[in-house]
Structure 1
Amino acid sequence: MEKYEQYVRVFNQFDTNKDGNISPTELNHCFGLIGGEMTAEEAEAAVVLVDSDGDGLLCLEDFVKIVEGAGEEEKASDLKEAFKKYEMEGSGCITPKSLKRMLSRLGERRTVDECKSMIAYFDLNGDGVLNFDEFKVMMSR
């Protein structure tokens, strides 16, 4: 089954009154059915945050944004964890030495100069190290 079809199926489950929209009440109710906890205020805030036409309801496109956005948050969290493994202890950046150390742990032998070259390719601001934003660019290739 295609991903979009799955979204439609789940959307239709949440849309209990079958009006083609999900209200904050419906969102709150269905979230509880799947084992989540959401207050009425949180449901209202979630709808307001994503509601593209300002009618106080989620259309299918709004719902897809929420579902896909949750996946993006998970990816960002995973990237942050990976970045922490490569960065120089709490410095907020990946240096050639910290990259060499991590690659060595992964069984890849590189010289500091090779690591400098690898970093230089993705070093957008030219400071000789990778910050998190530059790391995200590197990992997306």
Structure 2
Amino acid sequence: MMNKCENVFNYFDKNRDGKLTPLELHSYIGSISGDLSLEEVQLVVAPLLSGENGVLGKDELECLVESENEEEKMEDLKKTFRMYEMEGIECITPRSLKRMLSKMGESRSVDECVGMIDRFDLNGDGVLSFDEFKIMMLS
């Protein structure tokens, strides 16, 4: 069974040679990122190109797709973190966690929130930084 990346690769590999040329890449990148020039596409994918032939194989395309997914995950995590971080101090406090959980219909005491934060509070400062939040969410 083909994975999603292989399906995408095969869709854009118009001549079915197992490689994506800059023109085929332009079509692919343009479909997911809006209007990019052929030169901009070449700059984006240059680090992924195998050898000196200037084409992208299936493995390189998978790396490209995965890196875009990672960027999206990071943006989503940052947005979620900002929802919990309500006190403007760039960290999640027991109070801000309690407030957000209440908004989601989950009633917790401040002490329970302290316990939840303690499990992922790596530096022991009683709050969650973005890096600690990221570890918690990706665990």
**Structure 2 length-normalised TM:** 0.84
TM-aligned CA deviation for residue 85 of structure 1: 0.7
Question: Are 2:53 and 1:60 equivalent residues in the alignment?
Answer: no
| CA distance 1:68–1:96, shift in 2 (3 Å) | same
Aligned equivalents of 1:113 and 1:48: distance in 2? 51
Of residues 65, 76, 79 in structure 2, which corresponds to 1:78? 76
Offset, 1:117: 1.1
Q: CA deviation at 1:55?
A: 4.3
**Structure 2: where are the runs of 5+ without partners?**
none
Q: Does 1:25 align with 2:23?
A: yes
Matched, 1:93 2:91: yes
Q: Deviations over 1:50-99 (max 9, x none)?
A: 23545432110010111222222222221111111101333211011111
Amino acid at match of 1:137: I
The alignment-based identity, stated in percent, is: 52
Residues 19-49 of structure 1, C-alpha deviation per residue, up to 9 Å, x if partnerless?
Answer: 3221222211344467831112211112213
The aligned counterpart of 2:115 is: 117
CA contact (8 A) 1:47 1:56 kept: no
Q: Secondary structure at the match of 2:119?
A: helix
Paired with 1:53 and 1:132, the residues of 2 have a C-alpha distance of 38
Q: Are the counterparts in 1 of residues 91 and 128 from structure 2 also a CA contact under 8 Å?
A: yes
Give the TM-score, by structure 1 length: 0.83
Distance (Å, rounded) in 2 between the aligned partners of 1:128 and 1:8: 45
Gapped regions of structure 1 (runs ≥ 5): none
Q: Distance in 2 between matches of 1:33 and 1:91?
A: 39
Call closer, same or farther: CA 1:113–1:81 in 2, change over 3 Å. Answer: same
Q: State the number of aligned residues.
A: 139
Which residue of 1 is the match for residue 38 of structure 2? 40
Q: Contact between 1:25 and 1:43, CA under 8 Å: does it hold in 2?
A: no
Q: Residue in 1 aligned with 2:126? A: 128
Contact between 1:47 and 1:57, CA under 8 Å: does it hold in 2? no
